[in-house]
Amino acid sequence: MARLTMLVTALVVFMAPEVSGRGLRSQNGQELTTTPSLGVFVDALEAVNEQRANKRVSGSVDCEVSAWEEWSTCDESSMTQTRKRTVETAPQGSGSPCPRLVQTIPCKPVHCAVSAWGEWSACLDPGYKIRRRTVVREPKYGGTECPHVEARRKCHPKDCFMSDWSHWVCDEATATKRRTRHVTKPAQAGGEPCPKVEEETEPCDPIDCELDDAFGPPTCDSNGLQKRYRLIRTKPKFNGMECDTIPGYEQQEKDGKCPVDCKFTEWSKWSNCDPLTGKKKQTRTVKAPEQYDGKPCDGGREREESCPSPPRDSFCVVTPENECPVDKLLPSTQDGSTLIYPGGKTRCAFDDYTDPVTGFTSSAAYFFQVFPTRNSQPKKKLMLYLQGGGACSGDDMCAFAVQCSMGEGSMFIPSPLAFSKGLLNRSDENNLFNDWDIVHVPYCTGDIYVGKHETEAYVPFFALFLGQPQCLNRNMKAHHNGYENTLAVFKWALANYPEPEQLVLSGYSAGSLGAQLHSKTVADMWKVEEKKIKYDVIADSYAGVAPDIYPFSVLLQYFEACDFISGLSSDLVTKCKQAKATTVEVMSDLIQKTSSADWLFVNSKGDIWQRIFYQLSLDGILGFQFANLPTESDFFGRMTQIFDAYKSISSRVSAYFVEGEHHDFLDIYQWYNTPLMGTDKTLGEIISTFLLRSDAAPCDTPDCL
């Protein structure tokens, strides 16, 4: 029996794989992969080896290992699991070697698992319904794949059902009636779809006037006749029959007429304030006298009121004893300005007048306005600022301006205090001219500041032709006295600001043209070259674009101004008197004569008022509706030609344009934020840099300023 055991043991040892620290190997040294069933066999084999080890030489130490660790998770790259153990006592002498230390087995497959089926859905449009289930566990390690998770089943089509139409409901605010219906059951499974119309509207049914048999009390109609009207039981609605179309609606009384009370016209507009009394006036007249024992008109035909502004101490009247020096002025508490009435040869276009019907008011007295600086260093920077307005250029046009509403604008009426707009707004902390002394020159003569001419009063024939007979009460003589007015202001400014470090002559609209024409006059009066005064001309919104058959000098010739524009050559004066000198010829002569001045022109690309004045020059007042204005591109091209001509004779000329049709920029709120074409700079940034410019280098780009 012992021999048989030894034989079996030897056979097992011979056939069994070699055990090492790396696992099991065959006789040829190839590593084997064990399974749990093979592990049982290996454990039995180790027991045999232990018996063999007991017979080894005494003094030898067998290998001892730890217990097995838990099986690892599945390695999905090799689809296997492993477990390990470690050597705790290494073998010595002829002791038994260490058994395998790592075992590897295939991963156990994980099969897909799904939930139970859900409920069937309602029928869908293509004619089927569906139910679904979800995947609870995805398959792994070769497990069974998931079955379908959606099932479909056909269903029967069902048509849409709509409710009946509602009753019509009339909305009196819109005179429209409305009815509605709605879907009670939507179509299913391809059934007949619902109609799109769920609401209908129609005009409300007309309701005719319904009269009562009884009459109301007697009343008076507009002709003073007594009538009685039947009482209205139902008022007409929605284009129903009107009450006054029903026979028997009214009944005229047999006796007398109704008393008619006297009626006044509306009060006229307030007149300009009288600077000496500080009061303004309103007038009215009797529109219709009383009749048939009516009440007479009660109350005055005229009333006065104190002017709220300017205060009494905000104006000064020039006399031989008082020339109104700037240091003695008492500024207005409203805007810090003072009105000065220079007297002498100054006057506005029309005599004092208030029309009793229309309320049109005119005043002959001329004033100008002074804004002394609040700076601690006054009289260093001076601006002469000419107010804008329109201009007339012939007897017919000027007479029509007097006769009709054009005469109510700033062309003939100076604006008191100029409303403190634009660069005159001292309350705007961003205003570039807050630290400047400004002399504001109002405009009330319609002659671009150069006139020495009178237009006799007459009624232009086309005033009636244009259908405005209500204007004919304004038949007055016009005094185009702009030259004397402007010169008086300049003389006062020179006496009070004789040596500024910087002098700006500026204006907008008609004031822009006035500034250009007086540029040489101002340069000579202040002796800017001799005194080295920095002199700038800023012309806002007037480029002088004129028709070829109506050159610019027609204006100058009409106002008898050719002899009084300082700087024009004798040949050009002659051409001016012949009304043949162009804008470029006149202004080029003045630009050359004021060689030390910097010139800045600002205009809208399609300035609507300059285009209107252009058309007015062509068609006269008969073109009053202005239906054939030049296009924006044509007007812009003509302006560009004018400024290119100026730049060709002086490097000190700069011109900028603004998109759109706006007219005037320096008199608008926050004027300095106006964006300019061809540059990322604003008008304020350009002017700020322009005022600091001291060299005469050419300026061809916006960045050169």
Is the preceding peptide bond at 310 cis, omega within 30 degrees of 0? Answer: yes
Residues 539-564, mean pLDDT to the nearest whole number: 88
Residue 290 within any structural domain of the chain: yes
Verify that 440 and 465 share a domain, yes or no. yes
Verify that 454 and 510 share a domain, yes or no. yes
Verify that 272 and 394 share a domain, yes or no. no
Verify that 266 and 369 share a domain, yes or no. no
How many domains, the chain? 6
> Can you name the residues that pair with 538 across neighbouring β-strands?
506, 600
Cα separation, 419 vs 385, in Å, equals 14
Verify that 291 and 168 share a domain, yes or no. no
Q: Is the pLDDT of residue 41 over 60?
A: no
More confident residue, 616 or 485: 485
Verify that 49 and 81 share a domain, yes or no. yes
Cα separation, 337 vs 315, in Å, equals 9
Residue 701 within any structural domain of the chain: no
Given pLDDT bands bounded at 50, 70 and 90, which one contains residue 400? low
Verify that 465 and 443 share a domain, yes or no. yes
Residue 699 within any structural domain of the chain: no
> Can you name the residues that pair with 24 across neighbouring β-strands?
19, 32
pLDDT tens figures, 575-609: 999 999 999 999 999 999 998 999 999 999 999 98
From 556, 504, 494, 496, select the one nearest 527 (Cα to Cα).
494
The average confidence (pLDDT) of the chain is 81
Given pLDDT bands bounded at 50, 70 and 90, which one contains residue 271? confident
**CA angle, 357 then 358 then 361, to 5°:** 110
* 3-class DSSP assignment, residue 672: helix
Residue 122 within any structural domain of the chain: yes
Residue 474 within any structural domain of the chain: yes
Q: Is the pLDDT of residue 308 over 70?
A: no
Domain span at 168:
161-203
Given pLDDT bands bounded at 50, 70 and 90, which one contains residue 253? confident
Task: Spell out the SS3 assignment of 206-258.
Answer: CECCEEEEEECCCEECCCCEEEEEEEEEECCECCCCCHHHCCCCEEEEEEEEC
pLDDT of residue 471: 55
For residue 485, CA distances in Å to 368, 418, 658 come to 9, 17, 32
pLDDT of residue 408: 47
In sequence order, what DSSP letters do the residues of 504-525 get, joined into one string?
EEEEETHHHHHHHHTHHHHHHH
Structure tokens at 271: 């007149």
pLDDT of residue 652: 93
A 10 A CB-CB count for 605 gives: 17
**Residue after which a domain boundary falls, among 221, 240, 258:** 258
Residues 435-451, mean pLDDT to the nearest whole number: 91
pLDDT of residue 406: 44
* 3-class DSSP assignment, residue 7: helix
Verify that 126 and 198 share a domain, yes or no. no
Q: Is the pLDDT of residue 421 over 60?
A: yes
Structure tokens at 153: 């089943």
Verify that 536 and 642 share a domain, yes or no. yes
Give the largest CA-CA distance in the chain.
166
Residue 705 within any structural domain of the chain: no
Cα separation, 94 vs 615, in Å, equals 129
Given pLDDT bands bounded at 50, 70 and 90, which one contains residue 468? low
Across 46-50, 186-190, 638-642, the highest mean pLDDT is recorded for 638-642
pLDDT tens figures, 322-364: 999 998 888 876 677 889 999 999 998 888 877 666 666 777 8
pLDDT of residue 196: 84
**Residue after which a domain boundary falls, among 221, 243, 258:** 258
Structure tokens at 621: 């007042």
Q: Is the pLDDT of residue 164 over 80?
A: yes
Residue 704 within any structural domain of the chain: no
pLDDT of residue 655: 95
Q: Is the pLDDT of residue 462 over 80?
A: no
Structure tokens at 31: 């590593």
Given pLDDT bands bounded at 50, 70 and 90, which one contains residue 619? confident
Residue 584 within any structural domain of the chain: yes
Verify that 443 and 473 share a domain, yes or no. yes
Verify that 488 and 579 share a domain, yes or no. yes
For residue 370, CA distances in Å to 336, 571, 580 come to 9, 38, 38
Cβ atoms 348, 445 nearer than 8 A: yes
Verify that 480 and 504 share a domain, yes or no. yes
pLDDT of residue 43: 55
Given pLDDT bands bounded at 50, 70 and 90, which one contains residue 697? very low
Pairing of strands 80-84, 102-106: antiparallel
Residues 238-246, mean pLDDT to the nearest whole number: 91
Residue 601 burial class via C-beta count within 10 angstroms: exposed 0-12, middle 13-18, buried 19 and up: buried
